[in-house]
Structure 1
Amino acid sequence: MSRPIRIHAFGDDALAEHDAVGLAALIRSGELGAGEVESAAVARIRQVDPALDAVAHEAYGTPRRSRKPEAPLHGVPTLVKDNTDVAGMPTNHGTDAYRARPATQDGRYARQLLSTGLTVLGKSRLPEFGLNASTEFRSGPPVRNPWHTDRSVGASSGGAAALVAAGALPLAHANDGGGSIRIPAAAAGLIGLKPSRGRHPDGEQARTMPINIISEGVLTRSVRDTAAYLAAAEEHWRNPRLAPIGLVQGPARRRLRVGLLLETVTDAVVDEQTRDAVLRTARLLEEQGHVVEPIPVPVPRSFPADFITYWGLLAAMAGGFGRFAFDRSFDASRLDGLTQGLARQFKDGGWSRTPGALRRLHRARTRYAAAFRRHELILSPVLAHVTPPLGHLDPSGPFDELMDRLQRYVAFTPLHNVTGAPGLSLPMGMAREGVPIGVHLSAAHGDDRTLLEVAFALEEQTTWPALGTAPAAEVNSP
Structure 2
Amino acid sequence: MGDFADLDRARDPLRALRDAIGSGDVSARAATEAALERAAQRADLGAFVTLTADRALAAADRADARWRGAAFDVAHAHGAHRALPPLHGVPLAHKDLVDVAGAPTTRGSAAFPHATATADDPGVAQLHRSGAVSIGKTQVPEFGLTGYSENRIAAPTRNPHDPRVTAGGSSGGSAAAVAAGILTAAPASDGGGSIRIPALACGLIGLKPGLGAIPTDVLRGRSDTFGAPKLGVSGPLARSARDAALLFDAMRADPTESTLTAVETSEQLEHLAIGVSTATPFESASPTPFSAPALAALDEARRRLEARHRVDAAEFRYDPDYPELFTDVWTASLSLLEVRDTAAEELLMPLTRSFRERALARSVAQHREAGARITRFAADVRAQWGAFDVVLTPGLAMDPPPIGAFLARSPEADYRLQCEWAPCTSIVNVSGLPAVAVPLLETPAGLPFGVQLIGRMGSETMLLQLAAQLTEEAPLRYRPAASARRSR
Do the two structures share a fold, i.e. TM-score over 0.5?
yes
Query: Is the 8 Å Cα contact of residues 75 and 117 (structure 1) preserved in structure 2?
Result: yes
The range that moved more, 9-18 or 364-373, is 9-18
Choose 354-363 or 82-91, whichever is displaced more: 354-363
**Which of 300, 307, 320 in structure 2 is aligned with 1:280?**
300
- Counterparts of 1:188-267 in structure 2 under 5 Å? 188-203=202-217, 209-210=224-225, 211-235=229-253, 245=259, 247-248=261-262, 249-251=264-266, 252-267=268-283
Query: CA–CA distance in 2 between the matches of 1:275 and 1:13?
Result: 34
> Which of the numbers 167, 175, 195 marks the counterpart of 2:181?
167
What does residue 17 of structure 1 align with? Answer: 9
CA deviation profile, 1:93-139 (whole Å, cap 9, x unmatched): 11111232211111111122222221110110100001111111246
1:453 counterpart residue number = 465
Please report how far the alpha carbon of residue 48 of structure 1 lies from its aligned counterpart in structure 2 after TM superposition. Answer: 0.6
Shift of 1:349: 4.8
Secondary structure in 1 aligned to 2:55? coil
Answer whether contact 2:279 2:317 (CA < 8 A) is retained.
no
Q: Is 1:308 the equivalent of 2:308?
A: no
1:126 aligns with 2:140: yes
Read off the aligned partner of 1:258 and give its amino acid letter. I
Q: Partners in 2 of 1:41 and 1:296 — Cα distance?
A: 46
Q: Does 1:52 align with 2:45?
A: yes
What secondary structure sits across from 1:196 in the alignment? coil
User: What is the CA deviation profile of residues 128-158 of structure 1, one whole-angstrom value per residue up to 9, with x for unaligned ones?
Assistant: 0011111112464211111101001000000
Residue number in structure 2 paired with 1:40: 34
1:472 counterpart residue number = none
Residue 426 (structure 1) aligned to one of 429, 438, 441: 438
State TM-score, norm by structure 2: 0.85
Report the structure number with the largest CA radius of gyration.
2
Kindly indicate whether the alpha-carbon contact (under 8 Å) linking 1:316 and 1:343 is maintained by their aligned counterparts in 2.
Answer: yes
Shift of 1:424: 0.5
SS at 1:304's partner residue?
Answer: helix
**1-side partners of 2:136 and 2:390: how far apart?**
36
Out of 431, 434, 439, the position equivalent to 2:451 is: 439
1:302-349 superposed Cα distances (whole Å, 9 cap, x missing partner) = 2221110112212333xx3356xxxx9992321100100111223345
Task: Give the 3 Å change call, closer, same or farther, for CA 350–264 of structure 1 in structure 2.
Answer: farther
In the alignment, the residues of structure 1 paired with residue 218 and residue 54 of structure 2 have an alpha-carbon distance, to the nearest angstrom, of 27
Q: CA deviation at 1:237?
A: 7.8
* Matched-pair contact (CA < 8 Å) for 1:259–1:295: yes
- TM (norm. structure 1) is 0.86
In the alignment, which residue of structure 2 is the partner of 1:385?
398
**What is the percent sequence identity of the aligned residues?**
30
- Between the two proteins, the alignment pairs up a number of residues equal to 444
**1:332–1:236 distance in 2 versus 1, CA, 3 Å:** farther
One-letter amino acid of the counterpart of residue 369, structure 1: R
1:155 matched to 2:169: yes
Counterpart of 2:368 (choices 335, 351, 355) is 355
Ranges in structure 1 where 5+ consecutive residues have no aligned partner: 1-8, 466-478
How far, CA to CA, are the matches of 2:261 and 2:326 in structure 1?
A: 34
Letter of the 2:302 counterpart:
A
Provide the rounded CA distance (Å) in 2 between the counterparts of 1:236 and 1:452. 17
**In 2: Cα distance, 1:203 partner to 1:103 partner:** 19
Give, in angstroms, the shift of residue 21 of structure 1: 0.5
Once the two structures are TM-superposed, the CA of residue 399 in structure 1 deviates from its matched residue by 1.5
2:201 alignment partner, SS class:
helix
Structure 2 residue identity aligned to 1:125: Q
Asked whether the 8 Å contact 1:112–1:237 carries over to 2, the reply is no
CA contact (8 A) 1:71 1:117 kept: yes
Distance in 1 (CA, whole Å) between partners of 2:115 and 2:342 is: 11
Contact preservation (8 Å) 2:386, 2:456: no
Seen in structure 2, the aligned counterparts of structure 1 residues 77 and 26 have a Cα distance that, compared at 3 Å, is same
**Offset of 1:426 from its aligned partner?**
0.7
Aligned partners of 1:316, 1:14: CA distance in 2, in Å? 50
Measure the CA separation in 1 of the matches of 2:466 and 2:295.
20
Does the Cα contact within 8 Å between 1:153 and 1:188 map onto a contact in 2? yes
Cα RMSD of the aligned pairs, angstroms, is: 2.6
The equivalent of 1:476 in structure 2 is: none
> Match of 1:86?
100
- Distance change >3 Å, CA 139–CA 29, structure 1 → 2: closer
Give the secondary-structure state (helix, strand or coil) at the position aligned to 1:62.
helix
Structure 1 353/420 Cα, relative in aligned 2: closer, same or farther at 3 Å? same
Contact 1:10 1:166 in 2 (8 A): no
Q: Give the one of 16, 31, 39 matched to 2:25.
A: 31
